[in-house]
Amino acid sequence: MSDTRGTLAVVGAGVIGLSVAWRAQQAGWAVTVIDSHPSRGASWAAAGMLAPITEAHPSEPGLLRIGLESAAMWPEFAADLNHESGQSCGFREDGTLVIGYDRDDAEYIRRLAEHLREWNLAAEPWTTAQRQVNAPAIAPMVAASLFVPGDHSIDNRSMLGALQAVTDRHDVPILRSRVRSVTPTSVELVGGDSFECDAVAVCAGIDSIGIIPELPVRPVKGQIIRARTGERTGELLTHTIRAHVRGRSVYLVPRRNGEIVIGASVEERGRDTSVTIGPISDLLEDARLIVPGIDECELVETWAGLRPTTPNNMPIVENRDGVVIATGHGRNGFLLSPWTAATVNGLLDEIRPAS
């Protein structure tokens, strides 16, 4: 490439690595992605909520700030990805309906609405009549509903497919190999081969700690379910539903292909990715209370993934001794992918300024 900025090795082909690779290639880098099992980490498991607002917690103002920044980038990011890949990445702008099942859950919703008002974030309490018109599949007896128009969703697997199509189209190779170690200008593969480059970005999710052991990232397990609507159920849902059910939480995220993703457990179990009956049945029990019609859905899949999580839930996106790191996105890797790719491009500019 005559206009190349230099050669960049991106370690990891999850949502973060592929987003970084795509945006860096657009900025003029000659990119090679390295991953032995592309896109089968946390990104394959995710529900794909783009939800800075309903995820907001008073103790995490920094996360809310970058989450809102990234959410604002999403419409253009998705349009650009659809255009460049020639396929849909599954971005939906339908908003999110938060449900409180009983009186205590309704109190939680009331406090959430209060926080959102303090932060000037749009949220609209719905009456029962509004809910029956706009979300008729929700059980009639739920105690409270709050509509949040700014929280959207992405079909995680369609997005990964679109990102891979874009890398193909731009001749960005995905090298099927595992990285053992990196320096600012080289990558060593398991098996002993190595290659030189002008910059390195480590985007290997939870396994980034296998390459840079001092990163403060730990795995937080999430179990999740995929169900499919059909003739008997009709579409069921047009909005993402986040429900609080007797102190527990469950969400249901509809996809354009008729699937509904129901998630997710939050478990501190190290690197265990087994699917277990307890968390899956809790999720199904709560989801059925909120949307009884899911009884008629086909159960398509149960799955588990590991969220790469930091102590303060902020991602690590930085230049560490000349190597760019982008990991630790926890429960928000999809939400934060446009922001991360843009931030990494800024870090790459510092390493090797455009001439």
Ligand X SMILES: Cc1cc2nc3c(=O)[nH]c(=O)nc-3n(C[C@H](O)[C@H](O)[C@H](O)COP(=O)(O)OP(=O)(O)OC[C@H]3O[C@@H](n4cnc5c(N)ncnc54)[C@H](O)[C@@H]3O)c2cc1C
Binding site for ligand X (CB under 6 A): 11-17, 34-43, 45-49, 178-179, 203-205, 207, 210-211, 222, 224, 263-264, 305, 307-308, 327, 329-335
Smallest distance, ligand X to C-beta of residue 35, A? 4
Smallest distance, ligand X to C-beta of residue 335, A? 4
Smallest distance, ligand X to C-beta of residue 280, A? 12
List the one residue out of 51, 243, 67 whose CA is nearest residue 150.
51
Listed in sequence order, the residues at least 6 apart from 61 whose beta carbon sits closer than 8 Å to its beta carbon are none
Which amino acid makes up residue 178? R
Nearer to ligand X, 103 or 238 (CB): 238
Nearer to ligand X, 308 or 338 (CB): 308
Nearer to ligand X, 46 or 135 (CB): 46
Smallest distance, ligand X to C-beta of residue 346, A? 18
Nearer to ligand X, 115 or 178 (CB): 178
Nearer to ligand X, 26 or 177 (CB): 177
Whole-angstrom Cα distance, residue 241 to residue 253?
6
Smallest distance, ligand X to C-beta of residue 250, A? 12
Nearer to ligand X, 72 or 106 (CB): 72
Q: Hey, how many other C-beta atoms are within 10 angstroms of the C-beta on 144? A: 23
Smallest distance, ligand X to C-beta of residue 309, A? 8
